[in-house]
Amino acid sequence: MFGAELVMSASLGAIIVIFTFYIFIYFLDRSQYIGWLTIGWFMSFISNFFRYIIEVSSYNNDYLLYVNGLFYIISNLCIFKGTLLHVNMKPPKWLISGGLVFILNIIIGLFILHVQVLSIIATLFFVGVIRFWAGILLLKSSTRGSIQYCLGWSFILLSTNFGPLSLTFLDGKIKFIIYFAYQVVALSLAIGFLMLYIKQTNESYKQDEQHIKYFNIHDKLTGVYNRDFYEDIIQHLVNNSEQIPLAIILCDVNGLKLINDTLGHKQGDELIKKVANLLASICRKDDLVVRWGGDEFLVILPSTSNGNAKEIATRVRAALALCPPEPIPLSMAIGVATLTNQGESIEDVFNKAEEDMYTDKLREGNNTKLAVINALGQLLFIKDYETKEHVDRLESLVREMGLQLDLPESLIKNYCLVAKLHDIGKITIPEYILRKQGPLNSTEWECMKKHAESGYRLALSTSEFASIAEAILYHHEHWDGNGYPQGLSGHDIP
């Protein structure tokens, strides 16, 4: 029995060492698949411990065989589940029920029918199936590498259960030699998973390092270069005579604050990404697109004259005009300036581009805001927050009343504009509230009442609509004081 004791003791010692490593890694990383493998190897230790008692002592009965088989199945179920999690698969529902059936088979075989051999074969068959399946999954995995390849074939080799079969059907030293070879493969499997974890962790660290390096110089939202990159690269470009003349195009996205305030920052982010993609598609291979600030972009054009830079700016404007207004017309204020010799200051060139951009913004700013607000008004119709027929009827009624009261045409036009835009603030109200069929609850009603204030702020944002801002703010006030947003009454209502 010396050979049995040596092989079993060595196996138990090796499993304890490996289990210790698994415990350490699990508490370090809390990886779910490592957790299941850890439980599996712990159960394997218990199973091997009872097998050790059976082989090296004369104390051999049905209870020990039952416990050994029970933990053998549980350990392999846990290892199989860990393998499934590793390859991003959910364990099948039949797995647990199948395991319970085979455990029940052991109980029946040992305590009722007393057919130990049949129960052992059934147990080994079940374990063989799940091991073979685990091996196939690892071999078919899209991320398969050399370690995973070896693990897959180790599972397939272990699916034969040649070790437990040798203990059951062979005698003498040969059974312990075969069992020793079996344990070597099993322990290699455990070590292989540890090596695979270390390899994947190392690759993950490298990827994280690459991501950090990438986002050190790239904008996270748009993927174009960020301001830090500009600070790092600009002086190198200025000092390189081959890059002169060096042109700069500075762009400011129009209407972003209105979009953020009305449709939300998510829609504003989509607008920013659309602009970044457009600039990247129009600019040349050597041009550098930089997100300068919240709504500003800068394009660095090496070896580009001022005339060529203005041509590119014109192409940008043309591309913006062709973009579908989803949800608003896309436009930018654009400024261009060029560094023509290395004696100039790049800061002065940037300031010139900025001045040019602000001049463009002042020239087109109000028209842009007007276009944005008109687009938002159309969006109310498109999304059916407000029917066009309702607005048309209201405008017609306002005009008829104005004529009956002999009001000046300019004042009638103003009131018609109020009729058209009185509910523009509803664009800021959540869609589920606007579309709710039944009565609003108190929280929803408080939210709905804010549309008057939102419409007021929108109207104030452009001089074209500033004159009707108060009318939009107070259009839900009631003579008896039960209106909103301020609960004014009587002659206090403007």
Q: What is the pLDDT of residue 344?
A: 86
Q: Which residue intervals of 170-264 are DSSP H helices? A: 173-217, 227-239, 256-262
The residues, any chain, with a CB within 8 Å of residue 75's CB and separated by 6 or more, are: 40, 41, 42, 43, 44, 46, 47
Q: At which of 183, 212, 241 does a domain end? A: 212
Over 80: is that where the pLDDT of 363 sits? no
The span from the CA of 73 to the CA of 69, in Å, is 6
Question: Which CATH number covers residue 84?
Answer: 1.20.1070
- Collapsing DSSP to helix, strand or coil, 246 comes out as strand
Q: What is the chain's Cα-based Rg?
A: 38
Q: What is the pLDDT of residue 255?
A: 76
Over 80: is that where the pLDDT of 23 sits? yes
> Residue 491: which pLDDT band, with cuts at 50, 70 and 90?
confident
Any idea which residue has 């090596």 for tokens? 195
Please give the tally of structural domains in the chain. 3
Over 70: is that where the pLDDT of 281 sits? yes
The span from the CA of 15 to the CA of 38, in Å, is 11
Over 90: is that where the pLDDT of 263 sits? no
Q: At which of 349, 370, 391 does a domain end? A: 370
- Is-cis flag, bond preceding 164, omega within 30? no
Q: What is the pLDDT of residue 383?
A: 57
Domain of 15? 2-212
Does the residue 217 lie in any domain?
no
206 and 252 in a single domain? The answer is no
Over 70: is that where the pLDDT of 415 sits? yes
The span from the CA of 218 to the CA of 212, in Å, is 10
Mean pLDDT of 257-269: 79
> Residue 305: which pLDDT band, with cuts at 50, 70 and 90?
very high
Does the residue 290 lie in any domain?
yes
147-200 tens-digit pLDDT: 888 888 988 998 898 888 887 777 777 877 888 888 888 888 888 888 888 888
- Collapsing DSSP to helix, strand or coil, 301 comes out as strand
Does the residue 467 lie in any domain?
yes
Over 80: is that where the pLDDT of 444 sits? yes
Please choose, from the candidates 14, 16, 17, 8, the residue with its C-alpha nearest in 3D space to the C-alpha of residue 51: 8
Which has the higher per-residue pLDDT, 66 or 331? 331
263 and 385 in a single domain? The answer is no
- Collapsing DSSP to helix, strand or coil, 112 comes out as helix
255 and 303 in a single domain? The answer is yes
Does the residue 33 lie in any domain?
yes
Over 90: is that where the pLDDT of 290 sits? yes
409 and 324 in a single domain? The answer is no
Does the residue 151 lie in any domain?
yes
Angle in degrees, 0-180, between the axes of helices 227-239 and 173-217, rounded to the nearest 10: 70
> Residue 208: which pLDDT band, with cuts at 50, 70 and 90?
confident
The residues, any chain, with a CB within 8 Å of residue 78's CB and separated by 6 or more, are: 36, 37, 39, 40, 43
H or E segment and range at residue 249: strand 246-253
Report the half-sphere exposure of 366 (CA within 13 A, side-chain side). Answer: 8
Question: Which CATH number covers residue 415?
Answer: 1.10.3210.10
Q: What is the pLDDT of residue 104?
A: 61
Please choose, from the candidates 257, 262, 278, the residue with its C-alpha nearest in 3D space to the C-alpha of residue 321: 278
Q: What is the pLDDT of residue 95?
A: 61
Residue 118's φ and ψ, nearest 5 degrees, are: -65, -40
Q: What is the pLDDT of residue 96?
A: 60
436 and 453 in a single domain? The answer is yes
Q: What is the pLDDT of residue 335?
A: 94
Which has the higher per-residue pLDDT, 416 or 247? 247
Angle in degrees, 0-180, between the axes of helices 227-239 and 346-382, rounded to the nearest 10: 140
Over 70: is that where the pLDDT of 97 sits? no
Q: Please spell the DSSP secondary structure of 250-291, one letter per residue.
A: EEEETTHHHHHHHT-HHHHHHHHHHHHHHHHHHS-TT-EEEE
Q: What is the pLDDT of residue 221?
A: 93
> Residue 373: which pLDDT band, with cuts at 50, 70 and 90?
low
Which has the higher per-residue pLDDT, 242 or 97? 242
Q: Which residue intervals of 87-145 are DSSP H helices? A: 94-108, 116-140
31 and 174 in a single domain? The answer is yes
Q: What is the pLDDT of residue 146?
A: 82
> Residue 3: which pLDDT band, with cuts at 50, 70 and 90?
low
Long-range CB contacts (within 8 A, 24+) of 93-98: 95/130, 98/126
Question: Which CATH number covers residue 267?
Answer: 3.30.70.270
54-70 tens-digit pLDDT: 777 765 566 777 778 78
Over 70: is that where the pLDDT of 30 sits? yes
Any idea which residue has 């147990």 for tokens? 123
- Using the 8-state DSSP alphabet, how is residue 110 labeled? I
The span from the CA of 251 to the CA of 231, in Å, is 18
Q: What is the pLDDT of residue 375?
A: 67
Mean pLDDT of 104-133: 69
**What burial class does residue 158 get, using C-beta atoms within 10 Å of its C-beta: 0-12 exposed, 13-18 middle, 19+ buried?**
buried
The span from the CA of 274 to the CA of 280, in Å, is 10
- Average pLDDT over the chain reads 82
> Residue 137: which pLDDT band, with cuts at 50, 70 and 90?
confident
469 and 366 in a single domain? The answer is no
Beta strands in 254-396 (DSSP E): 288-291, 296-301, 332-339
Sheet containing 296-301, strands listed edge to edge, beginning at the edge strand earlier in sequence: 288-291, 296-301, 246-253, 332-339
54 and 148 in a single domain? The answer is yes
347 and 384 in a single domain? The answer is no
Please choose, from the candidates 100, 105, 98, 99, the residue with its C-alpha nearest in 3D space to the C-alpha of residue 121: 105
62 and 138 in a single domain? The answer is yes
| C-beta separation of 423 from 448 below 8 A | no
The percent of residues above 70 in pLDDT, for the chain, comes to 85
256 and 152 in a single domain? The answer is no
Which has the higher per-residue pLDDT, 146 or 59? 146
Q: At which of 178, 212, 246 does a domain end? A: 212
Over 60: is that where the pLDDT of 115 sits? no
259 and 110 in a single domain? The answer is no
Does the pTM of the predicted model rise above 0.85?
Answer: no
Does the residue 483 lie in any domain?
yes
Q: What is the pLDDT of residue 140?
A: 84
Does the residue 219 lie in any domain?
no
> Residue 93: which pLDDT band, with cuts at 50, 70 and 90?
low
Over 60: is that where the pLDDT of 109 sits? no
Does the residue 309 lie in any domain?
yes
| C-beta separation of 284 from 397 below 8 A | no
